[in-house]
Chain A
Amino acid sequence: DQQVKQNSPSLSVQEGRISILNCDYTNSMFDYFLWYKKYPAEGPTFLISISSIKDKNEDGRFTVFLNKSAKHLSLHIVPSQPGDSAVYFCAASYTGGFKTIFGAGTRLFVKA
């Protein structure tokens, strides 16, 4: 049973518009959430994270929102750029757990 779910395998967005990638989780012990970005033939690279004591974290064009009651987080990219085209993985972990659980990934296409 997947504890971290990304239900959209792919998303297509026009350059300059907002991209919203969604992630749901089931384990209420998770207290730290991360987003990674992956280009073909490369390993994932860390993008942004959020602790469960916050509901929003911003870094430039990237903002992550956390809704603990709904066990849902989302990554907003504004404005989207063609270079953002990649696979985005949502991940979750809990303090002292020493494991990070990843979702299946969402492939983002940003059209010029």
Chain B
Amino acid sequence: EAQVTQNPRYLITVTGKKLTVTCSQNMNHEYMSWYRQDPGLGLRQIYYSMNVEVTDKGDVPEGYKVSRKEKRNFPLILESPSPNQTSLYFCASSSLGTEYPNPYGYTFGSGTRLTVV
């Protein structure tokens, strides 16, 4: 089954303790992206990657890091989490094909609910 898999689904952590949220896709997609969803703000893009070793900032990158060492994986790293990073996080992927945007949109993972206390 074609899918984007995020882990963990739920995570409660303390301020300052480094954490990684993993994301993996099995569709051989070039493009991957991380979003956070907050009430009243919708989905805001954190980082995206157009291929292996190619990453770029989205609209809210502060406090986050990413890496793209393999095509299928795109982990989100919070080096020193703070309470304002409490949110629902989504990983998404898409093929680039001959042009962007993909007319069939993104495939999203099921989300990771992160609470930082």
Contact = CB atoms under 8 A, between A and B. Distances in A.
Given A43-B90, A44-B90, A102 B105 contact: no
Interface in A84-112: 89, 91, 93-105
Contact of B42 (A96, A98, A102): A102
A55 B57 CA distance: 32
Contacts of A51: 103
A33 to B, nearest CB: 10
Contact of A93 (B43, B101, B109): B101
Interface string A33-72: 0101000011111100101000000000000000000000
Nearest to A102: B43
A32 B90 contact: no
Chain B CB count within 10 A is highest, among A9, A41, A43, A94, for A43
Interface of B: 4, 31, 33, 35, 40-45, 48, 50, 56, 58-59, 90, 92, 99-101, 103-111
